Amino acid sequence: MTAPPSRVVAERPAPRALSLSVSELERWLHEAQEAGGLEPEAAFRIAEHLPEERVAGRVREAALEMKRAGWGDLVTFSRNVFIPLTNLCRNRCAYCTFAKPEDSAEAHTLGLDEVDELVRGGLATGCSEALFCLGDKPEKAWRGYRRWLAEEGYRATSEYLEVACRRAFEGGLLPHTNAGILRAEEMERLRPWNASMGLMLETASRRLREKGGPHYYAPDKEPAVRIRMHEEAGELRIPFTSGILLGIGETPAERVESLLVIRDLHARHGHIQEVIVQPFHPKPSTPMRYRAPLSDAEVASWVALARLVLGPRMSVQAPPNLGPSVLEELVASGVNDWGGVSPVTVDYINPEAPWPTLRALRERTEAAGGRLRERLPVYPDRVRNPEGWLDPQVADAVRRFADEEGFKRPDAGGMP
C-alpha cells in the first residue's frame, strides 16, 4: 500500500546544527557512492555546511563522480516547441509573471489553429517535443474563461488540453504536458497523446503556504496535493518530470526534504525520469522582485547535492537559460541533462532568459568534458522498454523518432 503523503514528509530525522569534520564528510561521500545516494541525516548535515567552500568543492567533485557512474560523459537535451495553451491561472504565486488576470491585455488562450501553427514550426526546425504549459485550473477563477470553455463545448481545461495534445500528436510531435494539478482520471485521458507528463514539486514545505509566503495565494502549491499527483502518476506508470525551485524562501533543510520526497516517490513507483533543479529569478512587477536569487556557485552546489541525494541513474536537469554563465560548472557538478531547448519559442515561464543556441550549447558542454546528445521527451530506457509505460500508439510514434539506443535519430523529423 502506498504511504500517505503526510508520512513521506514527516518521518525525517531533524537536522542538527553540528560541525562537519573532513573525515565525516569523506565517509558520507564514500558511503553515498557505495549505496547510490546520501542517507537523510548526511544530506541534512552537508546542506547546513554547503556554503563552506571546502564542503561545496568536495560535494561537486563527488557529484561528478556519481554522475559519471550513471551517465558517463553524456549530457542530453530535448528539442521542443513551447505551447502556452493558456496563461490564465487560479494561483497567484509571488514570483510568477506567466499567469495573467483575465482583464490583462497579455492574457491569452490559444486556439487550435494556433496550436497547429506552433506544431508546424516545431516540425520545420527539427523538434520532437511539444511542451504544453498552462495555468492551473483557470476555470475556477475566471468567469469569462468559464464561459468560453462552455461555448466551445468543454467542461474543464483538461478537456480542451486533451484535444490540443491530440492535435499536436497527430500533427507529428510528441507532447509533454505540464498543466499543474491533474486528477488521475485526467492524466489517464491525456496518456494516449502524451509521451510524458510533469509537475514541479517545487517544495515540500508547508510553511511557504503560510501568510506572507510565496504560495499563500496558490492553493495548488499545497505540498500534499502535489505529492498526491506524483503518487497517482506513478500508479498510472506515466514517465514523469519533477523538480525543486531554489531561492523562494525555503531553508536548506527544506530543500533536502523536497529532494528526499522525490526520491521516495521514485523508489515506490520508478516513474520519475528527470528532476529539475531550477533557480528562482526575480522578476519586475512581482511581490518578490527585490528578493536576491542564489549565486551561481550556490546553484551549482545544490545541483551537486541533488545528484548525491537522487543517485547516479536519476536524470538531474538544470535549465541552461537560467545559468548561462556557469554551464561548465553545472556539468562539473553532476548535471546530465539540459531539458527542453527550443529553436522556435521563448521560455514563457522565464521570458527574460533566452535559450542558448544549440551550437553554443554543444561547444560549452564539450568544453566541460561532456558529450551532448539529443533525446526525446521520453528517456531512452522507456523508449527501449515501453511496455506498461507508454500507450501503444505513443510507443509506435516514439519508435519513428528513435535510434537503436532510444535517443533521437539525427535524421528524424516529424511523423508522417
Domain annotation covers residue 156 = yes
CB 20 within 8 A of CB 49: yes
CB under 8 A, 24+ apart: contacts of 142-148: 142/88, 142/90, 142/101, 142/102, 143/102, 144/102, 145/86, 145/88, 145/102, 145/109, 148/109
For residue 84, list its beta bridge partners.
133
pLDDT in tens, the chain (416 residues): 344 444 344 445 555 557 899 999 999 999 999 999 999 999 999 999 999 999 999 999 999 999 999 999 999 999 999 999 999 999 999 999 999 999 999 999 999 999 999 999 999 999 999 999 999 999 999 999 999 999 999 999 999 999 999 999 999 999 999 999 999 999 999 999 999 999 999 999 999 999 999 999 999 999 999 999 999 999 999 999 999 999 999 999 999 999 999 999 999 999 999 999 999 999 999 999 999 999 999 999 999 999 999 999 999 999 999 999 999 999 999 999 999 999 999 999 999 999 999 999 999 999 999 999 999 999 999 999 999 999 999 999 999 999 999 999 988 865 44
Domain annotation covers residue 24 = no
CB 175 within 8 A of CB 393: no
Please report the pLDDT score of residue 13 as a whole number: 52
Whose cell is 511542451? That residue is 131
β-strands 337-341, 74-86 pairing: parallel
Q: Where in the sequence is the domain holding 341, given as residue range(s)?
A: 70-401
Cα Rg of the chain, angstroms: 20
Number of domains into which the chain is organized: 1
Domain annotation covers residue 39 = no
Domain annotation covers residue 26 = no
* Separation CA 94–CA 212 (nearest Å): 9
Residues contacting residue 58 through CB under 8 Å, at least 6 positions apart: 25, 26, 29
* Separation CA 271–CA 11 (nearest Å): 22
Please report the pLDDT score of residue 5 as a whole number: 44
Domain annotation covers residue 354 = yes
- The CATH number given to whatever domain includes residue 307 is 3.20.20.70
Residue 402 DSSP SS3: strand
Domain annotation covers residue 251 = yes
Please report the pLDDT score of residue 411 as a whole number: 85
* Separation CA 325–CA 320 (nearest Å): 9
CB 368 within 8 A of CB 331: yes
Burial (0-12, 13-18, 19+ Cβ within 10 Å), 210: exposed
Please report the pLDDT score of residue 415 as a whole number: 46
Domain annotation covers residue 58 = no
Q: What is the DSSP string of 169-216?
A: HHHT-EEEEE-S---HHHHHHHGGG-SEEE---B---GGGGSTTSTTT
Domain annotation covers residue 38 = no
